[in-house]
Amino acid sequence: MAEENIQIIVHDDGRIEFSTHDIKGEACMEELEKILGELVDDIDKAKTTSEYHEPPSQRKTNISAKKQQKTGSGSS
């Protein structure tokens, strides 16, 4: 079974950036919602790659959702 990976970067001004690998499409968004839902606004608007829409059997990387959520003091 493939490893499921999530990379989360917390910037010093509070912004959060994340990407996932090898988590199936819908499951990925559910997982992100459970982990980051209360910390990031509009997580459902995270950008997805074309691989997100591929069938699981052909997928090398199921999703690479990446989003920068500004949560800092206003500097971007």
Partner 1 sequence: MSTVYVQVDMPITQIHCLDEAIKMAGGTWQRPEILNQIATARGVLAMADDTINRINANYQLAKLLKELATSKPLDSINITIDGINIQLTRSHGRYTARLPNYDSQLPQIQSCISKLQSNYQAGVKKLKENITETLKQLEEQKDILSSEQLEGERVRLQNEKLALESANKQRVVEVTKELEEKLAARGFEIRKRMIGKKIVYQAVRR
As measured in angstroms, the least distance from the Cβ of 61 to partner 1 is: 14
As measured in angstroms, the least distance from the Cβ of 41 to partner 1 is: 5
Find out whether 18 and 31 touch, Cβ atoms under 8 Å: no
- Say whether residue 13 binds partner 1 (CB under 8 A): yes
> At which residue do the structure tokens 């989360």 appear?
8
- Say whether residue 6 binds partner 1 (CB under 8 A): yes
Angle, CA of 15, 68 and 71, to the nearest 5°: 30
The tokens for 20 are 């996932």
Residues that bind partner 1 (CB under 8 A): 1, 3-14, 16, 31, 34-36, 38-39, 41, 69-75
